[in-house]
Amino acid sequence: MKKPFTAIVIIILLLSIPFIKIEGRAQKRIVLLKDTPSYEIEGLEIVGKSKNGYIALYSGNQTLPIPHTTLRTVRDEVKGYHTYETLTAQLKEYEENYPDLLTLQSIGKTLEGRDIWAVRIGKEQNKRILFIGCHHAREWMSVEIPLKLIDYLLTNYKRDERVKRWVDSIEIWVIPMLNPDGHTYSVKVDRMWRKNRRDNGDGTFGVDNNRNYGYMWGLSGSSGNTSSETYRGPYPFSELENQAIRNLAYKHPFNLVVSYHSFSELILYPWGYTKNPPPDEEIFERIAEDMAKTTGPPNDNDYPGPYDYYPMQSSYLYTTSGDSDDWFYGDMGTLSFTIELNSFEDFFDPPPEKIEPTWEQTKGIAFTALDYTGINGLLKLHIERENGELYNGDVYIEEKGIRRKTQKEGLFMYFLLPGTYTINVRGVKKKITIKKGEVTEETMIVSSKVNLNINVYSENNKIPLSFTAKLENKEIEGFSGGTFENLEPDKYTLEVYSQGFYPFKKSIDLKSDKSMDIILKPKKLFASKFDFPDFEKITKDKNLKDYQYVLTDRFPSTRMVNFVIFNKNPDSMTVNYFGIRDLRESKGDISGLDGSFKDKTFTLSDGSSFVSKEKPIFTFEDGTFASVEKNRNIYFSFNPSDVGETYEFFKILESYLYENLKTLEIEYPEYTNKESIDIKIGFLRNGYIKINDKFYYTKDGSTSIKLTGLNAGENKILVEGFVNDKKVDSKEIDIVVDKLPPEIIAKEEQYLNGKRFLIFKVREENLKDVSVSMGEIKGVVSENKLLKTYYVKLNPIKDGNYYVKITAEDMAGNKNEKIILVHYDTTPPKIEYIHPKDGEKVNEKEITITGRITEDAFVYINGQPVKVVDKKFEFPVTLSTGLNLFKIKILDLSMNTSIYYLNIVYEGKRIILKIGDTTAWIGSNVYKLEFPPFIKEGRTFVPLRFIVEGLGGKVEWYGEEKKIVVKFEDTTLTLWIGKREALLNNETVCIDPENENIYPIILNGRTFIPLRFVAESLGFSVEWEGDTKTIIIYRDD
Q: How confident is the model over 431-456, as pLDDT tens digits?
A: 999 999 999 999 999 888 888 989 88
CA distance 982 to 536: 147
Judge whether residue 704 has pLDDT over 90.
Answer: no
| Mean pLDDT within 49-69 | 70
∠ CA 982-987-992, nearest 5°, is: 40
Would residue 550 be called left, alpha or beta, if left means φ above 0 and alpha means ψ between -120 and 50 degrees?
A: beta
pLDDT digits (tens, 9 = 90+) for 325-339: 999 999 999 999 999
Q: What is the pLDDT of residue 817?
A: 92
Residues contacting 632, CB < 8 A, separation 6+: 567, 569, 572, 617, 701
The secondary element (H helix, E strand) that includes residue 360 is: helix 355-372
Nearest Cα residue to 493 out of 476, 511, 513, 472? 472
* Residue 575 confidence (pLDDT): 32
Q: Range with the lowest mean pLDDT among 177-186, 566-575, 708-717, 847-856? A: 566-575
- Provide the pLDDT for residue 587: 30
- Cβ(741)–Cβ(816) under 8 Å? yes
Q: Mean pLDDT throughout 732-742? A: 89
182-190 mean pLDDT: 91
CB 941 within 8 A of CB 1010: yes
* Whether the predicted pLDDT of 7 surpasses 60: no
Per residue in 136-171, pLDDT tens? 999 999 999 999 999 999 999 999 999 999 999 999
Report for 615-624, 790-799, 890-899: range of highest mean pLDDT? 890-899
Angstrom CA distances, 1036 to 767, 879, 908, 945, 1020, stand at 69, 12, 6, 22, 9
340 a catalytic residue = yes
At 925 the pLDDT is 78
pLDDT of residue 126: 94
The rounded radius of gyration (Å) of the Cα atoms in the chain is 45
pLDDT of residue 590: 32
Phi and psi (nearest 5°) for 624? -125, 160
Question: Could you give the CA distance from residue 353 to residue 329 in angstroms, rounded to a whole number?
Answer: 35
**98 close to 152: Cβ distance less than 8 angstroms:** no
Q: Are 399 and 412 in contact (CB under 8 A)?
A: no
Closest of 679, 685, 706, 675 to residue 632, by C-alpha: 685
* Contact predicate 920/912, CB 8 Å: yes
791, 795, 798, 800: CA torsion to nearest 10: -20
Reported confidence tier of residue 539, pLDDT bands at 50, 70, 90 = very low
| pLDDT-derived band at 340, boundaries 50, 70, 90 | very high
The answer to which of 364-368, 683-687, 844-848, 895-899 has the lowest mean pLDDT is 683-687
Distance (Å, whole) CA 156 – CA 163: 6
Q: For 543, phi and psi rounded to 5 degrees?
A: -65, -25
Task: Quote the CA–CA distance of 914 and 1032 in Å, as a whole number.
Answer: 9
AA identity, residue 699: K
Averaged pLDDT, 180-194: 91
For range 52-81, the mean pLDDT: 70
The kind and range of the H/E element at 763 are strand 758-763
Q: How far does Cα 459 stand from its chain's mean position?
A: 48
Confidence of residue 554 (pLDDT cuts 50, 70, 90): very low
Task: Look at 31-35, 508-512, 565-569 and tell me which has the smallest mean pLDDT.
Answer: 565-569
- What are the helix (H) ranges across 373-463? none
Instruction: For the chain, report the end-to-end CA distance as a whole number of angstroms.
Output: 57
| Average pLDDT in the chain | 79
According to the model, what pLDDT value does residue 776 have? 80
Domains of the chain: 84-182+208-372 (3.40.630.10), 377-446 (2.60.40.10), 450-520 (2.60.40.1120), 535-660 (no CATH), 665-737 (2.60.40.10), 743-824 (2.60.40.1220), 831-906 (2.60.40.10), 909-1035 (3.30.457.10)
Residue 271: asked if its preceding bond is cis (omega within 30°), the reply is yes
Segment among 248-257, 328-337, 408-417, 580-589 with least mean pLDDT = 580-589
Q: Is the pLDDT of residue 285 over 80?
A: yes
pLDDT of residue 297: 60
Burial 634-665 (b: 16+ CB within 10 A, else e): bbbbbbeebeebbeebbeebbeebbeebbbbe
**pLDDT score of 499:** 67
Q: What number is the average pLDDT over the span 703-720? A: 85
Arithmetic mean of pLDDT, 654-672: 67
Q: Residues 241, 340, 345, 764: which is the catalytic one? A: 340
SS3 696: strand
> Sorting pLDDT into bands at 50, 70 and 90, what band is 620?
very low
Whether 814 has a pLDDT exceeding 50, the answer reads: yes
Check residue 663 and give its pLDDT. Answer: 65
State mean pLDDT over 673-682.
87
Share of the chain above pLDDT 90, in %: 40
The proportion of the chain whose per-residue pLDDT surpasses 70, expressed as a percent, equals: 78
145: three-class secondary structure by DSSP:
helix
Do 1028 and 914 touch, CB atoms closer than 8 A?
yes
- What's residue 171's pLDDT? 97
- Of 321, 338, 319, 179, the closest CA to residue 256 belongs to 338
